[in-house]
A and B are shown apart, each in its own frame.
Chain A
Amino acid sequence: MNKKSITERRRENYLFYILIFISLIISNIGIIFFEDSRIMPNYFIGLILAFLITNTTDLNLYKLMAFGLLIDLFVGQLLGQHSLIFIILYLLYFLINKILIIKTEIQLSSLSIFLILISFIIIWLTSQSHDIFRSPNLLLLQGILTFFTYLIFKTVINIFK
């Protein structure tokens, strides 16, 4: 098993914080050429998923909970919504790794699509039960864009780690 040096860990943590900050900024700006701003991707789900799947930084439940709350405070609609999504993603990723070998790029992409869908179902369910309107059709489009965001974040992580 590869053990990471302290400098490597520090660099990965910096990368994580920088990407969180960039996501915070870009989640406040609509995408050019997309008329409907509601279909913009959920950058935070893409980012956390990229870090989980690449196994880059030491993410644990406490960290995920804290980041979720931070995101909800800045750009969320409901306090605890993103925290809930992140901890469920963490649990599912752990369980899947217990029973399956995720080896190839296609398998990783399928896993990420599955996890993105799960997180969007959670968003939709919590939005419905708390009267925050979310159209399921738009959520599907948003899910596709989030997958591309995940791919971009993953590439960035692989370049800089």
Chain B
Amino acid sequence: MVQRKNTSNNLKLFNRNTFPLFTFFLAFTTCLILMGFDYRHQVSKKIRSEFSIITSSINYLINKPIEILHGIEIKFKEINSLTEENKILKKKIYNLSIQIQENELLNSENEQLRKILEIQKNYKIIGENAEIILPNVRNGYSLITINKGIKNNIKNGAPVINNKGLIGQIINTSNNYSEVKPITSKTFAVPAILNNGKENVILYGNGNGELEIPLFPASSPIDINNIFVTSGIDDIYPKGINIGRVTEIKLTKSPKFNYILIKPFFQPTTFSQITVLKINKNE
């Protein structure tokens, strides 16, 4: 009879080894206590932030090949394509400079009107530009990592936006990197208003790449494609930043309320630009 070599290791019927039951229960209890303690006090995040050298080296390692690839791509770009790109960028600058002139006029008008109406609350948005880098996922959880951290004066809780609209909020910072919780995260809530200035609501992330309003008054007028912007009442997110567009209005069990689904404008693709806001509140 030919005996297979690889099967011999697995023949363990009536294995007489004893299991370290006491150690198991000790380890089991320790795990449960650690989980509860970490959930309440966020110990792992603090440790991760303190020992950022280790996580930074992992981030460096996973980003380096892509950086090299980008470098090579730029080196081998032809002059013609660069000239073409330059032309397009010049056109964009020209259009934007016209828009800035228009905005300056609108700002001064706005300031005068605020003085007349005695509106004191005013926001001046100052931002730090950053780039989305890897990791974009952490062991199965979606993540937005940016290449600026404590060194660039980025603080926990700061709102993050891009040219499309609101992205999220900084939840973890280390020396060179920061993590952003996206607005679509299950534990995210943001006060919002329709862009016509009506209907103050709170939008919640649903964990599936969208936002929702579970109970929206059925008597309030709302349509598909209506746009929600930040209302600014929470003193975290400045007023008027685009959030998303209404994609679905559903009936709920109660006839007094509707369920609203909102698709956010932002698409946090890796290596795209974002801005971390620092808000000066002049109250």
Closest to B136 in A: A30
A27 with B35: in contact, given A72-B44, A74-B58, A87-B27 (CB under 8 Å)? no
Q: How far is the CA of A74 from the CA of B141 in the complex (A)?
A: 13
| B10, A75: Cβ atoms closer than 8 Å | no
Closest to A85 in B: B31
Q: How far is the CA of A61 from the CA of B21 in the complex (A)?
A: 10
What distance in Å separates the Cβ of A112 from its nearest Cβ neighbour in chain B?
Answer: 12
| A91, B186: Cβ atoms closer than 8 Å | no
What distance in Å separates the Cβ of B238 from its nearest Cβ neighbour in chain A?
Answer: 28
Q: How large is the interface on B (under 10, 10 to 19, 20 to 34, 35 or more residues)?
A: 35 or more
Q: How far is the CA of A26 from the CA of B134 in the complex (A)?
A: 11
Candidate in B12, B19, B185 with the most chain A CB atoms within 10 angstroms: B12
| A25, B58: Cβ atoms closer than 8 Å | yes
| B31, A38: Cβ atoms closer than 8 Å | no
Closest to B207 in A: A133
Closest to B18 in A: A94
| B39, A130: Cβ atoms closer than 8 Å | yes
Closest to B270 in A: A30
What distance in Å separates the Cβ of A97 from its nearest Cβ neighbour in chain B?
Answer: 4
Checking B13, B35, B135 against A80 with a beta-carbon cut-off of 8 angstroms, the contacting residue is: B35
Q: How far is the CA of A100 from the CA of B12 in the complex (A)?
A: 8
| B13, A100: Cβ atoms closer than 8 Å | yes
Residues of A close to B139: CB separation below 8 A: 27, 40, 42-44, 71, 75-77
| B44, A76: Cβ atoms closer than 8 Å | yes
Q: List residues 111-168 of chain B with CB under 8 A from any CB of chain A.
A: 134-142
| B35, A78: Cβ atoms closer than 8 Å | yes
A24 contacts the other chain (Cβ, under 8 Å)? yes
A58 contacts the other chain (Cβ, under 8 Å)? no
| B58, A87: Cβ atoms closer than 8 Å | no
| B13, A101: Cβ atoms closer than 8 Å | yes
| B27, A83: Cβ atoms closer than 8 Å | yes
| B134, A29: Cβ atoms closer than 8 Å | yes
Residues of B within 8 A of A (CB): 7-15, 17, 19-20, 23-24, 27-28, 30-35, 37-39, 43-44, 47-48, 54-55, 58-59, 61-62, 134-142, 185-187, 207-208
Known pairs A101-B11, A103-B11, A133-B207; list 5 more (Cβ under 8 Å).
A40-B139, A68-B31, A79-B37, A81-B31, A84-B32
